[in-house]
Amino acid sequence: MEQTLFEKVGGEEAIAKVVDYFYSELVLKDETVNHFFEKTDMEKQRSHQTKFISFALGGPKQYSGQSMAKAHQGLNLQPDHFNAIVKHLNDALAHFGVNEADIDTALTKVASLKDDILYK
């Protein structure tokens, strides 16, 4: 039986490390997007993002947050913002040794949400 991408990257514990690096070392240091998180409870955000990414990569469905459209409502995110986040996710996954093919699979899943995130 083939492993899910969730299992290949090391499960929720590994994804939590990727998410922590993603925010602390990349997103929150990027002036293009960091202002969107100024009033965000980052502990809660990291937890939600870990559960969401875990599910998106084939892990258990633990994410019970808002829909993507609702979560991004009122932010008026533009393509530059979306692209910055995708690049940071790419870089965070690569930093933890996820291979390029698996990163592409993960980013394809993220790209499928673009219409629910932009211009809301």
Q: Is residue 4 part of a domain?
A: no
Torsion of CA 43, 94, 64, 116, to 10 degrees: 110
Q: Is residue 103 part of a domain?
A: yes
For 4-32, the pLDDT digits (tens) are: 889 999 999 999 999 999 999 999 999 99
Q: Is residue 69 part of a domain?
A: yes
Structure tokens at 16: 């939590």
Q: Is residue 2 part of a domain?
A: no
Whole-angstrom distance, CA of residue 120 vs CA of residue 116: 8
For 94-113, the pLDDT digits (tens) are: 999 999 999 999 999 889 99
Q: Number of structural domains, the chain?
A: 1
48 CB contacts (<8 Å, ≥6 apart)?
Answer: 63, 65
pLDDT of residue 64: 74
Q: Is residue 72 part of a domain?
A: yes
pLDDT of residue 26: 98
pLDDT of residue 79: 96
HSE on the CB side for 25, CA within 13 Å?
A: 15
DSSP tag of 61: -
pLDDT of residue 117: 92
Nearest CA to 27 out of 96, 110, 97, 84 is that of 84
For 34-72, the pLDDT digits (tens) are: 999 999 999 999 998 998 888 888 888 777 778 888 988
For residue 36, the domain's CATH number is 1.10.490.10
Q: What is the pTM of this model?
A: 0.90
Q: Is residue 3 part of a domain?
A: no
Torsion of CA 30, 118, 20, 53, to 10 degrees: -160
Judge contact between 89 and 36, C-beta under 8 A. no
Q: Is residue 32 part of a domain?
A: yes
pLDDT tier at 120, thresholds 50, 70, 90 = confident
Q: Is residue 19 part of a domain?
A: yes
**pLDDT at residue 87 above 80?**
yes
pLDDT of residue 82: 96
Residue-number span of the structural domain to which 80 is assigned: 9-117
